[in-house]
Amino acid sequence: MPEFRLTTALLILLALAFPLQADTRAEGTALARQILERPANEGRVGTMHFRLVNSSNRSRERAALMVHSELDAEVRVAIYFTAPAAIEGTAFLSHDHPEGTDATWLYLPATERVRRLPNSERGDYFMGTDLTYGDIRDNFKFRLEDWHFSAPGTVEHNGRPHEVLRGTAQTAAIARELGYGAFEAVIDPETLFPVVVEFADPEGQPLKRVSIAEQGLVGGAWTALRFSVQQHQTGHRTEIHFENMRHAPDLDQRVFDANALAYGVPRIR
């Protein structure tokens, strides 16, 4: 009977598809774990240049000294703005603890005080840029507890095959917190660094594209040295490049002390 054969065929197809889907999820999770376990270093410092471009192509520029440390899974980032004059002396510090309370501080020269900030949602945007606080903390990694992963295959990028990693937020609450409902990333197989990431908002609409134009090995850790973030919904773009990014193995941890923000740009040898 035709209906019986059709039903049987469908059931067989479903039975075959399920382990295939489970395979891509397992591969995706494995790839995400490899990315997460990318070597980090105990300290790097460089000059960060931001260019913020609106949909009318008008731009604003920022420069800052960025100091980054990743020790025992605790990530600490200090950003001291040096230009333009209106924000020169402004400094930002974040401590991201794997377990326990994250903390951020801001120093505004006009107030002459270091101010502890309420923790921002990871999806909140950092100081007018198209980078979120989560983007800055995660450093082009994808946390296993946030996403359901899959690895549908490879694509050609710059003449080489690259893995594709997809993720959907595990829950609606996570999607709201991150500001992302899903992503698709093209991963460099040699560095395990994303070279392109397309993000969708929690409603599934295209949100922004992160393109890494240049990576560099700094103290044994791959780092994005030049990248851009293009917002699809507003037409705004943020371009970032680092100058003089160098490994700082003997970084004085006092640089990451909140009170040090008031003392101005540190001199790091």
Partner 1 sequence: MPTSTPGGGQPSAGPPRRRLYALLLLAAVGWIWLLNAEARVELSNAKLEAEYWGGVTTDDGSAALSRFTVKPSARWRLGDGWQLEVVLRGEYASDDTGLGSLETYSDLSRPFVDNTRSRLELDRATLVFRSGPTVLTLGKQTVPWGLLDGIQITDRFDAVRRRDFVLTDIRPDRLARWGFRLRSEASGWRVDTALLLDPTVSQQPAPGTAFSPRAARLRGGLPATAPDLPVRVSDRESYTDDATFGLRLARTLGGVDVSVLSLRGPDTEPLLVFATDSAGPYVELEYPRRSLHGFTLERGQGGNVWRVELAYVPDQPVNIRAPEPFAKDERRRWLAGVGLDWNAPAGWFVNAQLALDRINRGSTDITRPTEDVIGTLRVQRGFRQETWRVRGELLGALSDGDGVFRPALDWRGHDHLTITLGADLLFGDRDGLFGQYQDESRAWIRLSLSL
Q: Is residue 250 part of the contact set for partner 1 (CB under 8 A)?
A: no
Compare residues 134 and 167 and give the one whose CB is closer to partner 1: 134
Task: Transcribe 101-126 into DSSP letters.
Answer: --EEEEEETTTTEEEEEPPPPTTSBS
Least distance (Å) from partner 1 to the CB of residue 250? 14
Compare residues 52 and 78 and give the one whose CB is closer to partner 1: 52
Q: Is residue 14 part of the contact set for partner 1 (CB under 8 A)?
A: no
Q: Is residue 103 part of the contact set for partner 1 (CB under 8 A)?
A: yes
Exactly one of 125, 157, 191, 211 binds partner 1 (CB under 8 A); that residue is 125
Dihedral over Cα of 170, 171, 172, 177: its sign: negative
Stretch that binds partner 1, among 16-24, 40-48, 67-75, 108-116 (CB under 8 A): 108-116
Spatial contact of 137 and 120, defined as CB atoms under 8 Å apart: no
Spatial contact of 265 and 65, defined as CB atoms under 8 Å apart: yes
Partners of 243 in the β-ladder: 47
Q: Is residue 230 part of the contact set for partner 1 (CB under 8 A)?
A: no
Compare residues 84 and 152 and give the one whose CB is closer to partner 1: 84
Rounded Cα distance between 185 and 188, Å, is 10
Spatial contact of 45 and 246, defined as CB atoms under 8 Å apart: yes
Pairing of strands 59-71, 74-83: antiparallel
Q: Is residue 88 part of the contact set for partner 1 (CB under 8 A)?
A: yes
Which two three-digit tokens encode residue 212?
């890494």
Least distance (Å) from partner 1 to the CB of residue 81? 11
Q: Is residue 264 part of the contact set for partner 1 (CB under 8 A)?
A: yes
Task: List, in sequence order, every beta strand (DSSP E) within the chain.
Answer: 44-53, 59-71, 74-83, 91-96, 103-108, 113-117, 147-157, 160-169, 182-188, 193-200, 206-218, 221-231, 237-247
Exactly one of 17, 33, 128, 214 binds partner 1 (CB under 8 A); that residue is 128
Q: Is residue 173 part of the contact set for partner 1 (CB under 8 A)?
A: no
Stretch that binds partner 1, among 13-21, 125-133, 207-215, 241-249 (CB under 8 A): 125-133
Exactly one of 23, 37, 121, 190 binds partner 1 (CB under 8 A); that residue is 121
Exactly one of 1, 20, 57, 101 binds partner 1 (CB under 8 A); that residue is 101
Spatial contact of 129 and 238, defined as CB atoms under 8 Å apart: yes
Pairing of strands 182-188, 193-200: antiparallel
Compare residues 142 and 180 and give the one whose CB is closer to partner 1: 180
Q: Which of residues 35-74 bind partner 1 (CB under 8 A)?
A: 52, 54, 58, 60-61
Compare residues 123 and 194 and give the one whose CB is closer to partner 1: 123
Exactly one of 117, 172, 173, 213 binds partner 1 (CB under 8 A); that residue is 117
Spatial contact of 201 and 222, defined as CB atoms under 8 Å apart: no
Length of the chain: 269
Q: Which residues bind partner 1 (CB under 8 A)?
A: 52, 54, 58, 60-61, 82, 84-86, 88, 100-101, 103, 110-113, 116-121, 124-125, 127-130, 234, 236, 254, 259, 263-265, 267
